[in-house]
Amino acid sequence: MMPQDLSMTQASLLAVLREQNPWWTREVVPMQLQREYRRMELNEIKAQLKSDKILAITGPRRAGKTTVMYQLIQDLITQGVDPRRILFVNFDNPGVVPYMGRPFLDILNAYLEGVLMEPMVELKGRVYVFFDEVYALPGWARLLKGHFDLRTDMKVIVSGSSSPRLHRDAADALVGRVMLYHLPEMRFADTAMFAYRDEEKWRDLINRTATGLLRSGFELALAKGDPKVLHKACDQAMTKIIHLEPRLQSVLLEYLTKDGYPENLGSRDYIECAKSVNGAIDLAIYKDIVRSFKDRQPDLTASMLTLLAQSSGEPVESSSLGTALGMNVRTVERYVAHLKEVYLVHESLKYSGSIYKSFAKARKLYVANVGVRNAVLGLLNEGLAANSKELGKCAEAVALDHIRALKTRDRPVFAIRTYYWRGDGGKEVDVVTELDGRVIPFEVKFRESIRPEDMKGLQAFLDEYKKSPFGVLITKKSLGLNGRIVMVPLWLFLLV
């Protein structure tokens, strides 16, 4: 078989690269790519660019990973980096597919020879390489290891929609050479600040309240094991932004309906928002899962997601799912694992007195994103606001997702464990987790007023597990302290 004409191959590849890297000629990232709003995590990610290690950004489909990459590129250009020294490649782009045989070398050679005119071993300055959805590139970790070991002056940033897979690939070939950063959908604090994007005074106040009073107060309360510290921080934060509460409650209602997908920010067109979320689901199931796990029956995966959305937050056994879908238990577990890997589902095990001893059989499976849940069930519309029962389920799902986010600050997202608890007499707690070495129970009661019986589950847990310093009751409006139980409105809690 005759070898390809390399000059023609390079010319074709360069055309694709020039299309994906418009800043080489414009010297700026087009605003439709970098977008207007910058999320809170961006500064944390920017700090990682100083390291020589490969930076791997993981997160769900359409969570904003590509946008963050474009924003990082624009910041580099603003700082004086020559735009031609920044290479971006999206491996989901159909134009890259013909070069998937040995793409890493082909792409780098085409770029270095056709754009920089510098050999890899004699670079005249640092080059920044951004590979989006890199797991589509076969053997990406091994190929990058070969590059990394050459010690070239090249900073590599990659992204992927399957954190466990990226981590396994990196663990096999890139031990000590890669840093992982999980980027979820935009948090409530981001959407709240977006709502005030044209009102700098109030946007900055929300930011200071979230990162200062609330987060610091929560961390201090954990360190001291004192519910009074947490209540004081929440009370002070409430006093500072109480005049913003009506609008923030409105932002919360939108968030409970469609969650924090960046492309849906500010949109009240729920039909288009639902289409966007369903598009993300289809990409995760029919592209990521099929490509990563060779799944030949993606429709069954989609059916399982629908079943889990219908029972989200309720204990579910694999045997029941198997009966409903015509699968054996082993196959059910494999499909659940696939949904977890692409951030569509996560689980809570039954707490049994230790985070190391829990009951997997009686687990709860949650659709990981409330926007996904609502889109699957046909609830992503303005009618959800009048459905108090479904709204309560959405509040519980959003609270659980935020509690999980609190834990991502000190461990990989796929290593996070959350639990629920059931005691004698039917008493329950929605979420139990360990934060900074302390076991904390959380209960969600998203209703107009709180009754004494709403605290019984938390109180029973605290009575049984006396080493737990306090519990958190997440409410719709109520803020207060009852013994070791701190009541916090959901909108305020989501700013922590």
pLDDT the model gives residue 115: 92
Q: Mark which of 183, 199, 216 sits at the end of a domain.
A: 183
pLDDT the model gives residue 4: 44
pLDDT the model gives residue 101: 60
Based on the fold, state whether residues 176 and 231 are members of the same structural domain. Answer: no
Q: Is the pLDDT of residue 61 over 60?
A: yes
Q: Mark which of 150, 183, 216 sits at the end of a domain.
A: 183
482 or 110: which leads in pLDDT: 482
Torsion of CA 42, 44, 50, 56, to 10 degrees: -80
Tokens encoding 197: 């994007």
Q: Is the pLDDT of residue 278 over 70?
A: yes
Rg value, the chain, Cα: 24
Based on the fold, state whether residues 288 and 375 are members of the same structural domain. Answer: yes
**232, containing H or E segment:** helix 227-241
pLDDT the model gives residue 142: 72
Q: Is the pLDDT of residue 302 over 90?
A: yes
Tell me which amino acid residue 446 is: F
pLDDT the model gives residue 332: 93
Based on the fold, state whether residues 104 and 225 are members of the same structural domain. Answer: no
Based on the fold, state whether residues 300 and 383 are members of the same structural domain. Answer: yes
In tens, the pLDDT along 84-95 reads: 999 999 988 877
Based on the fold, state whether residues 330 and 479 are members of the same structural domain. Answer: yes
- Residue 91 falls within a domain, yes or no? yes
What whole-number percentage of the chain has pLDDT above 90? Answer: 58
In tens, the pLDDT along 233-249 reads: 999 999 999 999 999 99
pLDDT the model gives residue 212: 85
What whole-number percentage of the chain has pLDDT above 70? Answer: 89
pLDDT the model gives residue 410: 45
In tens, the pLDDT along 401-431 reads: 999 888 755 444 445 788 999 988 889 999 9
Q: Mark which of 156, 183, 210 sits at the end of a domain.
A: 183
In tens, the pLDDT along 447-489 reads: 989 999 999 999 999 999 999 999 999 999 999 999 999 999 9
User: How far is Cα 290 from Cα 267, in angstroms, rounded to an integer?
Assistant: 31
Tokens encoding 411: 């461990």
- Residue 358 falls within a domain, yes or no? yes
Here the CATH number for the domain that contains residue 62 is: 3.40.50.300
pLDDT the model gives residue 124: 85
Based on the fold, state whether residues 228 and 168 are members of the same structural domain. Answer: no
Mean pLDDT of 135-156: 73
272 or 40: which leads in pLDDT: 272
- Residue 271 falls within a domain, yes or no? yes
pLDDT the model gives residue 201: 95
Eight-class DSSP state of 262: G
User: How far is Cα 197 from Cα 398, in angstroms, rounded to an integer?
Assistant: 23
Based on the fold, state whether residues 207 and 150 are members of the same structural domain. Answer: no
In tens, the pLDDT along 148-195 reads: 666 778 888 999 886 556 666 665 666 667 788 888 889 999 999 999
Based on the fold, state whether residues 177 and 249 are members of the same structural domain. Answer: no
Based on the fold, state whether residues 158 and 213 are members of the same structural domain. Answer: no
Q: Is the pLDDT of residue 336 over 90?
A: yes
- Residue 134 falls within a domain, yes or no? yes
Non-local (6+) Cβ contacts of 92 within 8 A are 132, 133, 136
Tokens encoding 316: 């579910």
- Residue 314 falls within a domain, yes or no? yes
pLDDT the model gives residue 363: 86
DSSP line for 17-77: HHHH-THHHHSS--HHHH-S---TTHHHHHHGGGSSSEEEEE--TTSSHHHHHHHHHHHHH
pTM over 0.85: yes
420 within 8 A of 429, measured Cβ to Cβ: yes
Instruction: Give residue 3's pLDDT band: very low, low, confident or very high (50, 70, 90).
Output: very low
Based on the fold, state whether residues 382 and 478 are members of the same structural domain. Answer: yes
366 within 8 A of 315, measured Cβ to Cβ: no
Torsion of CA 166, 171, 172, 174, to 10 degrees: 90
Based on the fold, state whether residues 202 and 158 are members of the same structural domain. Answer: no
According to DSSP, the β-strands at 485-489 and 480-482 are antiparallel
Based on the fold, state whether residues 170 and 202 are members of the same structural domain. Answer: no
Eight-class DSSP state of 315: B
Mean pLDDT of 13-35: 93
Q: Which of 68-82, 140-154, 379-393, 421-435 has the lowest mean pLDDT?
A: 140-154
pLDDT the model gives residue 413: 47
Tokens encoding 343: 């951030």
Q: What is the mean pLDDT of the chain?
A: 87
How many domains are contained in the chain?
2
Q: Is the pLDDT of residue 393 over 90?
A: yes
Tokens encoding 364: 């709860």
- Residue 397 falls within a domain, yes or no? yes
pLDDT the model gives residue 2: 33
- Residue 449 falls within a domain, yes or no? yes
44 within 8 A of 245, measured Cβ to Cβ: no
Instruction: Give residue 358's pLDDT band: very low, low, confident or very high (50, 70, 90).
Output: low
pLDDT the model gives residue 102: 62
The parent domain of residue 106 ranges over: 6-183
- Residue 1 falls within a domain, yes or no? no
